[in-house]
Amino acid sequence: MIRLIPKTKPGREPTIALINVVFLMLVFFMIAGTLAPPLSQSVHLVRTADLEGREPPDALVIRADGVLEYRGAELTDVAAYVERASIDLPLDVVRLVPDRALPAVRLKQVSDALRALGANRVFVVTERGLP
């Protein structure tokens, strides 16, 4: 007597596990590899640490003691800046150049006062350097 065994359906391939492994390999190579070639060892970058810095001409400078300056002249308060600067340029964008030793509280006060007087965007100009 011949006995027939019913066909069983083949199980699903574990594609989720395969996708996870490929994704993990992709993340590993993105972190471990470099996307740009490294800088040549024979090239030495220009050093700008000893150069005198200059603020943008339309920026509001805040000294370490909290005194405001605009184009070399001291100002009494933020409203005086708005009055003087609105003649030259719109108050839409304001650039602040704070001294490194300025307390953050004073910087926030000036920024909030500028916003209250109509400044839409307030940018803080900082120094950027390579290690």
The whole-number pLDDT of residue 127 equals: 72
Domain extent for 110: 60-129
Is residue 7 included in any domain, yes or no?
Answer: no
Is residue 95 included in any domain, yes or no?
Answer: yes
Is residue 53 included in any domain, yes or no?
Answer: no
The whole-number pLDDT of residue 108 equals: 92
Is residue 72 included in any domain, yes or no?
Answer: yes
The whole-number pLDDT of residue 22 equals: 92
- Whether residue 62 contacts residue 106, with contact meaning beta carbons closer than 8 Å, is answered with yes
Is residue 85 included in any domain, yes or no?
Answer: yes
The whole-number pLDDT of residue 130 equals: 46
* Tokens 């800088």 sit on residue: 39
Is residue 2 included in any domain, yes or no?
Answer: no
Q: Check whether 47 has a pLDDT greater than 50.
A: yes
Mean pLDDT, residues 34-42 taken together = 65
Mean pLDDT, residues 99-126 taken together = 87
Is residue 70 included in any domain, yes or no?
Answer: yes
The whole-number pLDDT of residue 25 equals: 92
Is residue 9 included in any domain, yes or no?
Answer: no
What is the domain count for the chain?
1
